[in-house]
Amino acid sequence: MEIIPAVDIRGGRCVRLYQGDYGRETVFANNPVEVARRWQDEGATRLHVVDLDGAREGSPVNAELVGRIVAAVRVPVQVGGGLRQMPAIRRYLDAGVDRVVLGTAAVKDRALLSQAVAEHGQRVVVGVDARTGMVAVEGWEEQTRLAAAELMSELAGLGVSRFIYTDTARDGTLEGPDLRGIEGLVAGVSVPVIYAGGVSGVDDLVRLASLGLEGAIVGKALYTGDVVLREALEVLGSGQPA
């Protein structure tokens, strides 16, 4: 299972939110580029970058900074946050972003999703953000009545080749993942799933790996030191998926 450090950007700084609440922000670094280099140097095989301002505004806000991160590291970078128009998706991919993550657009604009998948295939990932199994959109600020499992099944049928599933109630809490819920979710999806939300230590990562997940995104636990990336990679192996 691949361990993917998260680099969340808001106001040009590297931050973490508690349960996606923009009013409960912790700043961990003023220079996200340096943070990205740090995780690469500690062995990360991929980075997960989120433009939190873009997620809230509905279009990329920190694109220039994302470009500097991509240029500064050698590992693949996947980026989400405000990608709801094809020109923005194309700009990121043309600039060297390995994968783009569509969230709100995947829920609200099937035509856009279909076009993005048709043009870019596996470089398009759908981010499914959910609280108690129900999908949240618009930077997690709008709760829907759409079940995450149903959405993932539907979108896999439309050609989506990979999902990132985030448990928003656990994200940034260090409370540990809902292993039983994740196991059931993964069992019902025919394509690879990457998990995010609440990882509190290496033991959580070992348990997640046992569920057949392709990867786990780790944010707060890395920044607080509850997970030491080099040590986690040694326990789980290289982390690079086949």
pLDDT exceeds 70 at position 50? yes
Q: What does residue 12 show for φ and ψ, rounded to 5 degrees? A: 80, 0
Total domains, the chain:
1
Say how many C-beta atoms besides its own lie within 10 A of residue 50's C-beta: 29
pLDDT recorded at residue 139: 67
> 45: domain CATH number?
3.20.20.70
- On whether residue 242 sits in a domain, the answer given is no
- Under 8 Å between Cβ of 188 and 157: no
145-154: average pLDDT: 90
- On whether residue 66 sits in a domain, the answer given is yes
- On whether residue 16 sits in a domain, the answer given is yes
Q: Which residue range is the domain that position 71 belongs to? A: 2-235
Nearest to 50 by CA among 101, 84, 85, 94: 101
**CA–CA gap between residue 100 and residue 126 (Å, rounded):** 8
- On whether residue 240 sits in a domain, the answer given is no
User: Which residues, including other chains, have CB under 8 Å from residue 6's CB and lie 6 or more apart?
Assistant: 16, 47, 48, 49, 50, 196, 217, 218, 219, 222
The residues that are catalytic are 8, 129
DSSP H or E stretch at residue 182: helix 179-187
pLDDT above 70 coverage of the chain, percent: 97
8-17: average pLDDT: 94
**CA–CA gap between residue 55 and residue 3 (Å, rounded):** 23
- On whether residue 41 sits in a domain, the answer given is yes
pLDDT digits (tens, 9 = 90+) for 163-193: 999 998 898 889 999 999 999 999 889 999 9
- On whether residue 25 sits in a domain, the answer given is yes
16-45: average pLDDT: 91
Mean of pLDDT over the chain: 92
Of residues 209 and 130, the one with the higher pLDDT is 209
